[in-house]
Structure 1
Amino acid sequence: MKPDIKAWARKYESLTNNDETIAAMALYYTCSFIFDMEHARILIEMHDGKVKRIETNAGPMDACDFLLKASAATWREFSRPIPLPMYHGIWSASFRRDLKIEGNHLVLMKNLRNFTVQFELLRKSGVPV
């Protein structure tokens, strides 16, 4: 059964917009990024710590500040409540697994704390692949 990507997007947006840690540091958390999950390509635009837009069918020409690309299996492992070693974060997965981080690394680094909190919300929302 194919996951309902629109329902996932609504849940992920709600988790992000209601996260107390992101809210506490949100003022300058403004960027856009893509989660390329092999079978789904999701563009997320953030503005001052709130989801401005989630595009669940992002195309190759959709612009973003940075992109995380990995196999569906890697994304599923990221979304486990307690992931296996080397799937617990983007850096470990980029060094030892198939995760690729592309784009403007300066924007990622400027927003790293908030992005990390938001990325870890995948453990609550799951992934649509």
Structure 2
Amino acid sequence: MSTQETPQPTEIKLHQKSRILEIAFSDGSRFELPCEFLRVYSPSAEVRGHGPGQEVLQVGKKNVEITAIEPVGTYAINLVFSDGHDSGIYSWSYLYDLGKNQAELWQRYLDRLAAAGASREPVAESPIPIRPKSK
């Protein structure tokens, strides 16, 4: 879908408690996109790779939040996430496509996680190194 055919956003709201980015478009579409969904489908090279088959499965992103939304010209936004990720430029057409295909894309992500034996849950790191007891 070319940018000229893509409806333009009329409203963008970040709901911090529920971790949802709500976007309304000029054609009447309204999408509620979870922060985790937007993070694991970031259009950045870090996530998508530099070509087909080079995608990097994102794990442990269940509790990720959006900490900032920055405009990029009149065609996109940059999202800054609580895990430090900030390199994806989300064009209006990409956000619209994510919204339209959210259910299918989310299931594909869950299937990829399961196949990799990975989890959406963040990995808790022990603050104190655990060492075997000396005898």
TM-score under structure 1 normalisation?
A: 0.30
Please identify which structure carries the higher helix content: 1
Greater per-residue strand proportion:
2
- Mark the structure with the bigger radius of gyration: 2
Which structure is richer in relative contact order (CA contacts within 8 A, separation 6 or more)?
A: 1
